[in-house]
Amino acid sequence: MRIPQTGPAGRRGGIADGKRFMADGITITFAPVGRSGAGDLVVFTGDDLVLGGAAREVLGQGGCDLVARAAASEQFKGRASSALVLPAPAGVEADRLVVVGLGSEKDRAKLDWPVLGGFTAGKVAGRSARVVLDGPGGETGAREAAEFALGARLRSYSFDRYKTKKKDEDKRPSALTLMLAAHAEAERAARDSEAVAEGVVLARDLVNEPPNVLFPAEFARRAAELSGLGVEVEVMEPARLRELGMGALLAVAQGSAREPRVVVMRWNGGTPGEAPLALVGKGVVFDSGGVSIKSAGGMEDMKGDMGGAAAVVGALHALAGRKAKANVVGAIGIVENMPDGQAYRPSDIVTSMSGQTIEIINTDAEGRLVLADVLWHIQEAYKPKAIVDLATLTGAIIVALGQDIAGMFANDDDLAARLTAAGEATGEKVWRMPLIPAYDKAIDSKFADMKNTGGRHGGAATAASFLKRYVNDTPWAHLDIAGVAMSSTASEINRSWGAGWGVRLLDRLVRDVYEAR
Ligand code: BES
Ligand code: MN
Ligand code: ZN
């Protein structure tokens, strides 16, 4: 049977079609604070239950009194992440009144605006709402409003394109009107956060898509749509990969009926000729384990083994969408790891693009083989000033750190510190892990330059040490995102299986470090 190697033409959805098909399906607009309009009305309060001036004006004395009485009878204390839902007071034009708590003055000083936006969107799911964004602390800034909108949008995402009956419309608000004095500035600021939201949504879609739809050539086609935003995209097919000598990546791909691709995406928003930041992603569209096949339980999760590549594509979308003033090159290795008569096998020895040879011990340690060649190529061809790779690389990192923080291995303290800071700022947190000679020793091979596994102990660290052998002296950080990219814990800003993890982190890194000069 012939297997298609290219994507079906004219498929709907994706970047080219713009916002119309965005899976969050929510319209967000900014407006001055006003008394009339449709849907629910949302106001904020602190733990002193004092409403802001704008809310008092919209509610009138009667409305304020109702809030005070209802708060007392419902034991609503205005704590952060709590809400009181009431019928609209007489004289107030609204379906319902939703009072959202912001907590103490200390809570409010470090308010997480995306989380507040997500929480609020959750409270008015299935409806539309007007939100009085100017709160008890006074007027809300444009940047904060834009962050609120980002959180609301991310919370509203759900992947329901394959549900033919009941869609997930009741899980998100249909429309939000964010009312604040600085509405015009907020609308401008929100253009940037919209681009970031689109990047996250794109990454989530890619992670959630099944591998019969999102095979390597189709993944590459979707990445190539970034050219519509001014990104230079190069899609490399097997002949080119052979020419470059990518023997490690090609070995992984050879058991699949679907051809591999490597995609290089360049966003040149910075100083012409300045060395770029490189982002590299593991894109295994499905990881069966190959001949060293995985057990059946949970194997369906391995459609998400391209979470690193999805984050890179999503980040490039965000950067190009907001016209970031930085040079960034993204590169993804896209393969499927399958057992087959053609498949690579334990004991094979393959030659990577770097010339180093690898003895295959376990065909399920495939991600590092893909990354070895892509890392090498990107270093040789683009001489980047730093490299960040993202990969759902090991189950061991999930054992070590769980599902709420990614593992980071780095050869450069400065880059590590900047990634840590970007993680704190966005909530996409990373925790630095060690790279020491003992891990490197564990992958020495009897028959080749190295083997592709280092035994049971320190699995995430020996995998990182393997990658290190494919990075020269470029500052480099490897993020093992196996725990955070998929099967994600629900949060105020994410209810999706595929989290789109890393897009906001990378966007923030570029904003704070590479655009800040
Ligand atoms: N894709 C997996 C890692 C993974 C596991 C990601 C669970 C997300 C959730 C990777 O290719 C893999 O199979 N790693 C092996 C390495 C081992 C064979 C040395 C692992 O972690 O068991
Ligand atoms: Mn594997
Ligand atoms: Zn894998």
Q: What is the pLDDT of residue 20?
A: 35
pLDDT truncated to tens, each residue of the chain (517 aa)?
A: 566 675 544 343 333 333 333 467 899 999 999 999 999 999 999 999 999 999 999 999 999 999 999 999 999 999 999 999 999 999 999 999 999 999 999 999 999 999 999 999 999 999 999 999 999 989 999 999 999 999 999 999 999 999 999 889 899 999 999 999 999 999 999 999 999 999 999 999 999 999 999 999 999 999 999 999 999 999 999 999 999 999 999 999 999 999 999 999 999 999 999 999 999 999 999 999 999 999 999 999 999 999 999 999 999 999 999 999 999 999 999 999 999 999 999 999 999 999 999 999 999 999 999 999 999 999 999 999 999 999 999 999 999 999 999 999 999 999 999 999 999 999 999 999 999 999 999 999 999 999 999 998 999 999 999 999 999 999 999 999 999 999 999 999 999 999 999 999 999 999 999 998 6
Closest approach atom of ligand 1 to CA 485? 8
Nearest-CA residue for ligand 1 atom 14 is: 394
Dump the DSSP string for 301-325: GGGGTTHHHHHHHHHHHHHHHTT-S
Q: Angle, to 10 degrees, between the axis of helix 216-224 and the axis of helix 307-321?
A: 10
CA atoms within 13 Å, Cβ hemisphere of 362: 18
Of 381, 362, 391, which Cα lies nearest the Cα of 293?
362
Cβ 482 under 6 angstroms from ligand 1: yes
* C-alpha 393 – ligand 3 centre gap (Å): 6
Q: What is the pLDDT of residue 2?
A: 62
Longest dimension (CA), the chain: 82
User: Helix or strand or coil: residue 238?
Assistant: helix
User: Helix or strand or coil: residue 422?
Assistant: helix
Cβ 392 under 6 angstroms from ligand 1: yes
Q: What is the pLDDT of residue 4?
A: 64
Rounded Cα gap, residues 425 and 506, in angstroms: 11
Rounded Cα gap, residues 207 and 214, in angstroms: 9
Side chain identity at 149, as an amino acid letter? A
Burial annotation 315-327 (CB, 10 A radius, 16+ → b, else e)? bbbbbbbbebebb
Cβ 395 under 6 angstroms from ligand 1: yes
* Choice among 204, 368, 495, 511 that is catalytic: 368
| 451 DSSP 8-state letter | E
Per the annotation, the verdict on 294 as an active-site residue is yes
Q: What is the pLDDT of residue 487?
A: 95
Rounded Cα gap, residues 235 and 380, in angstroms: 17
Q: Which residues surround ligand 2, an ion (CB under 5 A)?
A: 287, 364, 366
In this structure, how many other beta carbons lie within 10 angstroms of the beta carbon of residue 139?
Answer: 16
CB within 8 Å of 352: residues ≥ 6 apart: 245, 246, 247, 248, 358, 369, 372, 373, 376, 470
Q: Taking a C-beta distance cutoff of 8 angstroms, is the pair 330, 337 a contact?
A: no
**Ligand in nearest proximity to the CA of 304:** 1
Q: What is the pLDDT of residue 166?
A: 87
Q: What is the pLDDT of residue 319?
A: 98
* Choice among 56, 161, 294, 432 that is catalytic: 294
Residue 110, beta-bridge partner list: none
Rounded Cα gap, residues 424 and 417, in angstroms: 11
Q: What is the 3-state secondary structure (H, E, C) of 106-134?
A: HHHHCCCHHHHHHHHHHHCCCCEEEEECC
Q: Which residue blocks in 93-237 are alpha helix, DSSP H?
A: 105-109, 113-123, 142-155, 183-208, 216-224
Cβ 367 under 6 angstroms from ligand 1: yes
Q: Which two tokens stand for residue 246?
A: 């990518």
Q: What is the pLDDT of residue 456?
A: 87
Of 428, 433, 430, which Cα lies nearest the Cα of 507?
428
